[in-house]
Chain A
């Protein structure tokens, strides 16, 4: 990988850490009292979660009618949020698995939080297909189980059934991957924590890990196997999500470009979300030495690449519609760009394609504030991308008599806010109680880029930090 060559000269971890220092510094966040900033963040997130719970409770008690949907637009915020969160959930596994397979050692600083983000994002995503049901208490019917109805199985031809399997698999594999990566660190925590209660807890979850190298060897094999499985899984999951749309007959949905387009979009939005979180985390938790501008820089380049792919997809859609000579297809795309939801379309184009182009400038890539702002904008843009795909394709489809407009209700907004609340609540709890950075991996990577392994590295790298192509 070219990336490797570019990154090799600069140390991955600044400050010339020694392994013991790594342990104490990373565990510091879990062992000292929570900072007021953490509490503030937690309360905000929990408040949002409470709003979401209230919205969903109201939804369950009253009906899906409390959302702004109608006979023509059967999905809007619900599936937008679902695809959005699933997309977010993709960067975690991507960073962990794909970069692991490509031996991108810079991943060690961010993979843990990225994987946690995946888990929480998939939880957030998984909620929506359930709550959007008319009769959510029957959601389990989507799985085939022996029953007294004949037995009546499920429709394996339905992309929603595929979805159910894909998301379940993705969640389980991601969870396993995350947990597996955390076992050595949990053992470290177990041996490090002064609290008896916590020791017992960590002891339970660390499964009796003792750092035996024979286990380590198998562990590395399993980890690599999982990474190898997770990589096509990431691609398949978002491909399947895109098939929810691509296999339909609705113009604007029925497009073969969707799988690569969605996967690229997912990685794009996921990476942006990782950036947002990591930038906050390194500041709040004083992990600047572990998450260095180099990491951010590398992720920015990834953003630039995926933004390009997404932009290309936007253009391609218009091109296919143009040469299809299909009146319905052409209309849908013109309606996106010029119709009543044009504002959403242009937010999407600006935020996802135009603004990320700023990342061509190295100075901006190195400015955490700028990257933070751009990453947030990308998240907004990617949310709108899904909204536009779903709503504008539905609200004006084949028969003009069916055309309607969609307007969200407060309950829907509350549910969206609630999903962010859930995500950040989980993430903040994770930061508080688990090592946000994979200690065992960082310890293995601290020598990387240093002139002589094992000895303290100079403060500044003697080599040029980066070679421009």
Chain B
């Protein structure tokens, strides 16, 4: 009788511990699988705002995706194409103007603390002019999508074949901070290649190789 009781207790305990561990088990991934990685970036750049709300095409900033293996993180000078003029949301500017007039001072030109980081990186002064006394410092973004060194992924091939960026990177235009959406496993790559070979991309026949040497050399 006692042993039966012990058994029941043990079963209950293990069920409870499983329940406790559930989130841990649910988030279990094989080593190397970084799916869901969402690091904090040095500048809180919002893809939702730029790509979603403002509808800037992906390739405007990541233009090398068309011509190179790497999609590339845009240079600060690309940011400056707009942010030479756009320094903060209109509301923030108005608020600053109001605050400045209240405090009886000239309104600051740079309001956004995040854009301040961009101007700092380029060693620009408050008037967004080059400040010779400071050294430009590149912005060290945190890489989100990363493949092992023995895999050669080429953006050029995919972009020119008409694969949408979102196919792999997910709905970036809705993300405040970029998150690794796909697991970047080999099976994930290969399955997409197989499907593309059968169904084509946007109705166009493509040849997506499943040879090993398509990626490993």
Contact = CB atoms under 8 A, between A and B. Distances in A.
Physical contact A–B (CB less than 8 Å): yes
A150 B186 CA distance: 6
Nearest to B191: A150
A152 interface: yes
A76 to B, nearest CB: 29
Nearest to B186: A149
A148 B33 CA distance: 10
A148 B35 CA distance: 13
Contacts of B183: 148
Interface in A100-158: 147-152
A152 B191 CA distance: 11
B185 interface: yes
Interface string B157-191: 00000000000000000000000000101111011
**Dominant secondary structure at the A interface:** loop
Contacts of A152: 186
Nearest to B185: A148
Interface residues on A, range: under 10
Nearest to B193: A150
A62 to B, nearest CB: 23
Nearest to B183: A148
B30 A150 contact: no
Contacts of B187: 147-151
B189 to A, nearest CB: 8
B30 A148 contact: yes
A152 B186 CA distance: 9
Nearest to A151: B187
Interface in B60-78: none
Contacts of B190: 149-150
Contacts of B186: 148-150, 152
A187 to B, nearest CB: 25
A167 B118 CA distance: 63
Interface in B1-58: 30, 33
A149 B186 CA distance: 4
A304 B186 CA distance: 56
A150 B191 CA distance: 7
Interface in B170-217: 183, 185-188, 190-191
A150 B188 CA distance: 7
Contacts of B30: 148
A156 B102 CA distance: 80
Interface in A138-184: 147-152
Nearest to B212: A152
Contacts of A147: 187
B22 to A, nearest CB: 22
Contacts of B33: 148
Interface in B76-128: none
18 contacts: A147-B187, A148-B30, A148-B33, A148-B183, A148-B185, A148-B186, A148-B187, A148-B188, A149-B185, A149-B186, A149-B187, A149-B190, A150-B186, A150-B187, A150-B190, A150-B191, A151-B187, A152-B186
Q: What 10 A-B pairs are tightest by C-beta distance, nearest first?
A: A148-B185, A149-B186, A150-B190, A150-B187, A148-B187, A149-B187, A150-B186, A151-B187, A148-B30, A148-B186
Given A148-B186, A149-B186, A149-B187, 12 more contacts: A147-B187, A148-B30, A148-B33, A148-B183, A148-B185, A148-B187, A149-B185, A150-B186, A150-B187, A150-B190, A151-B187, A152-B186
